[in-house]
Amino acid sequence: MTRRRWIADEVLGNHAVLVGPHADHLSRVLRARIGQEFDIASGDVIRLGRITAITPERVEFELGAEISVPVTVQVTLVLSVFKFDRMEWAIEKCTELGAARIIPVIARRTETHLAAAVRKRVQRWRRIALQAAEQSRRTSPPEISQPSKLKDAAVLPGSLRILLSENESNFMLRDVLHSRSNDGDVVLALGPEGGWTDEELELFQEAGWISASLGTTILRAETAAIAATAIVHSELA
């Protein structure tokens, strides 16, 4: 049976601790007991952990052997802010699919009330990503940064920077992935509901981004983010 994986709240030497909601869920909901073993992740390292003490507020582990972790492609999502319920869905599913970093950006067509409230949502998005990372047995959740201006996101570094656009008719995402060499660092930019403006497309083009399409149908923003993340990991795994 596959052991459940937890991302440690505290690690010191050969000891790890879960606190707060982590500890409460493990002790009260899962009814864990002293001696049970779980995978404990800290950074890029996973070790076997055996429970040595447990309360609803704190679960302590003794750490054992390190468990090997496969190397995966690093995918950064530059995600234009859209309706928060759909944004949460995208963050959760892209975390499960392996996104390494998510950068919310305010695009020209981002609704005004969403742009005004976005900073208050970041902590919630990080909690969602943490839960999704543990559920999908990742070593760590994706980094979710504070909202960025589009002009700053356009100059992000990356060996392969791809702008997903419904206006692109010549190149599919899969074709671009196979036609360009990269070191496993891929940055994807996805527009808001309504798509990128002409000025935004020009901004990315001048910054050296490559345009690509996800197909002939028009996808919702959250569907595009999930599909693009899945394609990159499938093609470059």
| CATH number, position 155 | 3.40.1280.10
Does residue 135 share a domain with residue 29?
no
The residue from 35, 67, 99 where one domain ends is 67
Does residue 183 share a domain with residue 148?
yes
Kindly report, residue by residue over 29-87, the tens digit of the pLDDT: 889 999 999 999 987 899 999 999 999 999 999 999 998 877 788 999 999 999 999 99
Does residue 133 share a domain with residue 50?
no
- pLDDT, residue 68, reads 84
Does residue 37 share a domain with residue 110?
no
Does residue 53 share a domain with residue 155?
no
- pLDDT, residue 2, reads 73
What is the tally of structural domains in the chain?
2
Q: Which CATH number characterizes residue 11's domain?
A: 2.40.240.20
Does residue 117 share a domain with residue 61?
no
**Rounded to whole angstroms, how far apart are CA atoms 109 and 113?**
11
Does residue 44 share a domain with residue 145?
no
- pLDDT, residue 137, reads 86
Does residue 60 share a domain with residue 81?
no
- pLDDT, residue 208, reads 95
Does residue 89 share a domain with residue 23?
no
The residue from 67, 99, 118 where one domain ends is 67
- pLDDT, residue 1, reads 57
Q: How many other β-carbons are positioned within 10 Å of the β-carbon of residue 51? A: 19
Residue spans of the chain under pLDDT 50: none
**Rounded to whole angstroms, how far apart are CA atoms 159 and 206?**
16
Under 8 Å CB-to-CB from 44, ≥6 apart: which residues? Answer: 69, 139, 140
Residue with tokens 């543990």: 134
Under 8 Å CB-to-CB from 3, ≥6 apart: which residues? Answer: 37, 38, 39
Give the per-residue SS3 of the chain: CCCCEEECCEEECCEEEEECHHHHHHHHHCCCCCCCEEEEEECCEEEEEEEEEECCCEEEEEEEEEECCCCCCEEEEEEECCCHHHHHHHHHHHHHHCCCEEEEEECCCCCHHHHHHHHHHHHHHHHHHHHHHHHCCCCCCCEECCCEEHHHHCCCCCCEEEEECCCCCCCEHHHHHHHCCCCCEEEEEECCCCCCCHHHHHHHHHCCCEEEECCCCCCCHHHHHHHHHHHHHHHHC
- pLDDT, residue 183, reads 65
What pTM does this model have? 0.84
Does residue 122 share a domain with residue 59?
no
Boundaries of domain holding 35:
5-67
- pLDDT, residue 182, reads 65
Does residue 131 share a domain with residue 34?
no
The residue from 24, 47, 67 where one domain ends is 67
Does residue 38 share a domain with residue 110?
no
